[in-house]
Amino acid sequence: MDSNLFNNYVKAMHQEVPGFISITVVSTNDGNAIAYEAASNVDNRLSSAFQVEILRQATKALGYVENLNDKNIDRIEIALKEQIHVLFSSSNRQFLVHLILDEANYNIAITKMLHAKLFKAVEESYAAAPATGASVEEGQQPAVRRRLFF
């Protein structure tokens, strides 16, 4: 996994998103933080690990909703008096982005647009790389980027 892609994503979101407080990219497999960025010296990584469970339970609940064809969660928004928590699920369900915004200064339309634009590069890096036919030296693993599935 190329952590530079995730770090570049969180730094760009920090610079561009109005009302930014913090962002964490979390592995949905184990709840570990992959990348983190905050506007001040706050640490919301532990909170982000718990957000994975919110995604899991919401996904489970949608299994019981009738007449709903697409049950894939794009995002979950939790509105508090002072903050907005936005959870974005990656298309391969391996990553969760937990973004915390200042309720007084956020713009959800800009936030969604920036996330879609910036996270696309991260997700595309996990698409299967075309076979090149290049030889691999003895004792070395071939460099393969793969898409992970939920």
pLDDT tens for the 150 residues of the chain, in order: 677 899 999 999 999 999 999 999 999 999 899 999 999 889 999 999 899 999 999 989 998 998 888 888 889 999 999 999 999 999 888 999 999 999 999 999 999 999 999 999 888 876 534 444 444 455 544 443 333 333
Burial 131-140 (b: 16+ CB within 10 A, else e): eeeeeeeeee
- SS3 call for 24: strand
Residue 49 tokens read as: 């690990």
Nearest residue to 118 (alpha-carbon basis) of 2, 1, 43, 15 = 15
pTM (2 decimals)? 0.80
CA–CA distance, 73 with 94 (Å, rounded to integer): 13
Residues 6 or more apart whose CB falls under 8 angstroms from that of 148 comprise 92, 94, 126
- Amino acid 100 reads I
